[in-house]
């Protein structure tokens, strides 16, 4: 293996481990949703901002949405906990996708198709978040946060795809 091929392989491994970590971390955070939203409400002071507003309309929209989301999650937890099974499966999906990228760690050239798969998935985050976010009444600013995961995830995948093509062009298939 040439020094350049070794360098590219190290870069690809580092970026794919970062991508795998992001998928696993994102999956793990899909499970304790109530606890996370409670922490977000506490950290931002959303409850106090809503309570101290002279009228509900005067409260910041983000704080109202966050407190309403917290209330809905607690109601779901208390009366319909089965619905959280969906977020458990969402986490599982993240874990399985992360496992698939181990193929790239083993042989990036042979498994280059995974970069295309990942890039397509990252691109699809944007219309998915915008369409279903609108259907579910998610504020645009939150949908943009969701879209950022697709954009940020695409960066390492695009770079790895480019480096893998360079390895392939140089005959460094192993």
Q: Report the distance separating Cα 45 and Cα 39, nearest Å.
A: 10
Do 161 and 126 touch, CB atoms closer than 8 A? no
Here the tokens at position 139 are 């504020």
Here the tokens at position 29 are 């955070």
Here the tokens at position 117 are 């798969």
The four Cα atoms 113, 92, 156, 127 give a dihedral, to 10 degrees, of 80
Q: What pLDDT is recorded for position 50?
A: 96
Q: How confident is the model at residue 1 (pLDDT cuts 50, 70, 90)?
A: confident
Q: How confident is the model at residue 172 (pLDDT cuts 50, 70, 90)?
A: low
Four-residue CA torsion sign, 166, 171, 173, 174: negative
Question: Which is higher by pLDDT, 37 or 1?
Answer: 37
Q: Of 92, 27, 26, 107, which is closest to residue 115 (Cα–Cα)? A: 107
**Which residue ranges make up each domain of the chain?**
3-169
List Cβ neighbours of 45 (8 Å cut-off, separation of 6 or more): 63
Q: What is the pLDDT of residues 128-151, one digit of tens each?
A: 999 999 999 999 999 999 999 999
Q: What is the pLDDT of residues 106-134, one digit of tens each?
A: 999 999 999 999 999 999 999 999 999 99
Residues 82-97 have a mean pLDDT of 97
Q: How confident is the model at residue 76 (pLDDT cuts 50, 70, 90)?
A: very high
């Amino acid at each position: 293996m040439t020094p350049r091929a070794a360098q590219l392989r190290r870069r690809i491994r580092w970026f794919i481990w970062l991508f795998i970590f992001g998928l696993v971390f994102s999956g793990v955070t899909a499970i304790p949703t109530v606890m996370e939203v409670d922490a977000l409400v506490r950290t931002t002071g959303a409850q106090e901002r809503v309570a101290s507003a002279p009228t509900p309309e005067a409260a910041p929209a983000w704080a109202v949405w966050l407190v309403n989301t917290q209330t809905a999650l607690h109601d779901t937890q208390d009366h319909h906990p089965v619905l959280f099974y969906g977020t458990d499966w969402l986490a599982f999906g993240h874990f399985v996708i992360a496992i698939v990228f181990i193929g790239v760690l083993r042989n990036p050239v042979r498994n280059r198709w995974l970069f295309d798969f990942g890039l397509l998935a990252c691109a699809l985050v944007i219309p998915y978040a915008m369409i279903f976010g609108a259907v579910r009444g998610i504020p645009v600013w939150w949908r943009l946060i969701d879209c950022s995961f697709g954009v940020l995830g695409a960066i390492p995948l695009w770079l790895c795809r480019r480096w893998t093509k360079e390895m392939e062009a140089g005959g460094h298939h192993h």
